[in-house]
């Protein structure tokens, strides 16, 4: 894109530098869009992580209120696994 007539070398250099500035400005505008979109994505990921954390914290409080017995469930699971292995003929 030549903005100035190219009758001598000084004008040619000026026109080339103007087109370089135009390209640089275009890249800068595109980069500002990309950075903005990346910030939105990172922010939404942080908010989603916080939401999952808050939901899990509420779930843990509700389960503790119902007297969750993790040891009994673990022992029951191990017993069922041992039974399945015995029926399959495993170790």
Q: Tell me the C-alpha to C-alpha distance, in Å, between residue 67 and each of 54, 63, 70, 71, 78.
A: 20, 7, 9, 12, 21
- Is 77 or 3 the better-scoring residue by pLDDT? 77
pTM of the model: 0.45
pLDDT of residue 47: 97
Phi, psi dihedral angles at 54 (to 5 degrees): -65, -40
- Tell me: pLDDT of 80 over 60: yes
pLDDT of residue 69: 76
The confidence band for 1, taking pLDDT boundaries of 50, 70 and 90, is very low
């Amino acid at each position: 894109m030549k903005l100035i007539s190219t009758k001598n070398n000084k004008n040619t250099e000026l026109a080339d530098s103007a087109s370089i500035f135009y390209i640089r400005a275009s890249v800068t505008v595109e980069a500002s869009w990309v950075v903005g979109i990346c910030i939105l994505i990172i922010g939404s990921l942080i908010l989603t992580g916080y939401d999952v954390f808050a939901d899990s914290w509420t779930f843990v409080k509700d389960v503790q209120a119902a007297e969750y017995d993790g040891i009994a469930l673990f022992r029951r699971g191990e017993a069922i696994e041992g039974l399945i292995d015995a029926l399959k003929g495993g170790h």
